[in-house]
Amino acid sequence: MKTYQLGVMYGDGIGEEVVKATLDVLKAANQMNDLVKLDLEVLPMGLKAIDEFGHPLPEQTKEKLSKKDGWIMGPHDSAAYPDRFNEERNPSGELRHHFDLFANIRPAKSVKGIKSLVNDADLVIYRENTEGYYPDRNMYSGVGEWMVTPDVALSTGVFTRPAIERIARAAFEAAMTRHKQVTIVHKANVIRLGTGLFKEVCLEVAKEYPEVKVNDFHVDAMAAHLVKRISDFDIIVTENMFGDILSDLTGELVGGLGLSPAINANHTQAMAQAVHGSAPDIVGQDIANPVGVMLSTVMLLDWLGKKHQDNHLIDLAKKMEDAILSALEKGKTTPDLGGTESTESFAKVVINLLN
């Protein structure tokens, strides 16, 4: 029986509440499956880490994470950090950069019992996570934007063949396990060199997967297609900023960002991190929706299970997911989804359904 070492960072705002609810469900599910051992270690991150260690992401946290199989990261509220941290990457950006978590994987799936703007959605966005137009992680040292004068700002987008190849290959590998369909999203008609290279390299990788059907769209057209016919898409691969925007769109289309899970992965480690933020306006009210973090944790367990060919861990992830989705289908939801469950009581509902 393999022991999986997992880090846990509660983060800021509602992080304490939604991560705790997630851990309650995870521990209950693990107790029912004694063929998997999870070793959880809570690590400092966020405002509390600043108070105790002088930094929102202490070096000791990164050192310990380097020895973990994966970790669960709650939301952070970097806007509330002292001004001296304005020039640094926020904790999420720093972890993605430091551990080269090149694949941001964000599914969007219609859920029974949840009111949504579309029907029959079941897609996954593979977002390149290390370069593109996000200046906090597209340079080896420093950031990729600067002020020439007080009235002129320059931002650099970075696109490299190795980074495009690995996110494309991850997307096509995923497609082989699903419906064998990949959509490449770019803006090669205008950003001809940068996103043009992204499109070209993805099409080159596609030749390695002749069974996969491939198409491509400009990002603006893709946004319209997702609203009009989201069920036609399966795996979407795109660059950093486009992927961030489109995944927020698909999350809202299927019910809201409170439901939206994600993981950030390299070849050996993965970080579970929900799409939503820290929601400081509802902190302490016990009404935050924990589903995004719960389903992100499910994704983490499933990713680790497949990586280590551990069917017991895959089964644990599936049991958790089934219980969460069953709770939603029964209408046992938090107020943001029209329900009356609290963060804590929703976790209890899920734990009861695990049985």
Give 296: exposed, middle or buried? Use CB within 10 Å, 0-12, 13-18, 19+: buried
DSSP state of 258: G
Contact between 310 and 2 (Cβ < 8 Å): yes
DSSP state of 110: -
- Neighbouring residues of 249: CB distance < 8 A, sequence distance ≥ 6: 223, 226, 227
Contact between 290 and 123 (Cβ < 8 Å): no
Helix, coil or strand: residue 165: helix
Contact between 10 and 19 (Cβ < 8 Å): yes
Helix, coil or strand: residue 80: helix
Angle 252-100-130 from CA coordinates, rounded to 5°: 55
Angle 30-304-238 from CA coordinates, rounded to 5°: 130
Distance CA 117, CA 184 (A): 24
How would you classify the pairing of strands 181-186 and 37-42? Answer: unpaired
Distance CA 236, CA 159 (A): 18
Give the chain's end-to-end CA distance (angstroms, integer). Answer: 23
CA dist 171 → 39, 105, 206, 248, 296 (Å):
30, 9, 10, 19, 18
Active-site positions read: 140, 187, 220, 244, 248
Look at residues 250, 246, 275 and name the one whose alpha carbon lies nearest to residue 263: 275
How many CA atoms are closer than 13 Å to the CA of 89, on its beta-carbon side?
22
- Neighbouring residues of 340: CB distance < 8 A, sequence distance ≥ 6: none
